[in-house]
Amino acid sequence: MSTYIPPKAVQHGTRRFGRVNWLGLWTLCSREVQRFISVWTQTLLAPLVTAGLFIVIFSIAIGPRRGDVMGLDFTTFIAPGILMMTVIQNCFANTSSSIIVSKVQGNIVDTLMPPLSAMELVIGYLAGAVVRGVCVALVIAVGLWLFLGLIPAHPLTALGFVILGATLMGGLGLVAGIYANKFDQTAAITNFIVTPLAFLSGTFYSVEALPDLLYDITHWNPIFYLIDGVRYGMIGVSDSPPALGFAIGLGTVGVISAVAWLMFARGYRLKP
């Protein structure tokens, strides 16, 4: 009969606020990064192809008749949104798949046994999501430069929102992976939560064109502020102040990370 071994922070409460296990944290970060790099055709090349198809299809089907949006041609307007939408989907998949695969295969205990606190576990998993998100963003940004001639207007702002979005969706992926007990459950969360939030966040339109009710609802969607912030960083226009978007995103990251930390600390649904 297998015995659940919680994170060391649960076994030894003093570890939770003690010194950081840098070696263990670095090992976990490296494992998460190497995990997606080893299948780079799926994790880096595939998102580039997907983003390119979105841009081509929308440009051909809608672009010629759509006209300018916020003073820019339609293809240029949607490019940053597609970049960010691709980033958040991949970051969610990175952490959620890592956790659920370990749980299904029964080797999650190998991650929980080392002397890593709950916070160190959260940081290690999020580091992998952030690296993957930044890599995906850079690959797509290079593609946008080569094929559209799009050069970021505020590169540091764009990078900041990419990192913020990667952290947020990586944290949400952690929560989803810990909560789910099988792949169908994570797929349901992706289909009914992550995808709608991404598509209904101003990726393909300016929220100024929405009716009042939908306009108000959109501003409760944290993904809207992430996509809007990257749009400002890439092309210099946005529907909301970037500082407000960054503050809301940072607050949401704090809440999601706290939930993930609590799940690890209590060993919620982490029994093999």
Helices (H), strands (E): how many in the chain? 14, 0
Residue 265: both structure tokens together: 């600390």
Per the structure, the count of domains in the chain is: 1
- Residue 271, pLDDT score: 67
Residue 7 in any domain: the answer is no
Residue 18 lies in a domain: no
Residues whose CB is less than 8 angstroms from the CB of residue 218 and which lie 6 or more positions away in sequence, other chains included: 200, 201, 202, 207, 210, 224
Per-position pLDDT tens, the chain of length 272: 444 445 544 444 334 445 889 999 999 999 999 999 999 999 999 999 999 998 888 877 776 666 677 778 888 889 999 999 999 999 999 999 999 999 988 889 888 888 999 999 999 999 999 999 999 999 999 999 998 899 999 999 999 999 999 999 999 999 999 999 888 999 899 899 988 888 888 888 888 878 888 888 888 999 999 999 999 999 999 889 999 999 999 999 999 999 999 999 999 988 65
Residue 52 CA, chain-centre distance (Å), reads 19
The reply to whether 12 falls in a domain is no
The helix (H) or strand (E) run that includes residue 202 is none
Rounded CA separation 31/186 (Å): 22
Q: Is 75 exposed, middle or buried (0-12, 13-18, 19+ CB in 10 A)?
A: buried
Domain annotation covers residue 196 = yes
Determine the Cα angle at 43 with ends 37 and 45, to 5°: 105
Q: How crowded is the C-beta side of 37, counted as CA atoms within 13 Å?
A: 10
Q: What angle do CA 222, 141, 163 make, to 5 degrees?
A: 40
Instruction: Specify whether the CB–CB gap between 24 and 114 falls below 8 A.
Output: yes
pLDDT of residue 64: 63
pLDDT at 272: 55
Q: For residue 28, give the 3-state DSSP assignment.
A: helix
Half-sphere exposure of 20 (CA within 13 A, CB side): 11
Is 25 within a domain?
A: no
Separation of first and last alpha carbons in the chain: 10
Question: Which tokens belong to 48?
Answer: 């580039």
| 175 in any annotated domain | yes
Q: Name the residue among 139, 112, 185 with its Cα closest to residue 37.
A: 139
Residue span of the structural domain in which 51 resides? 37-266
Q: Is 2 inside a domain boundary?
A: no
Q: Which residues is 69 bridged to in the sheet?
A: 72
Question: Is 162 part of any domain?
Answer: yes
Q: Output the six-digit token pair for 253.
A: 């990251």
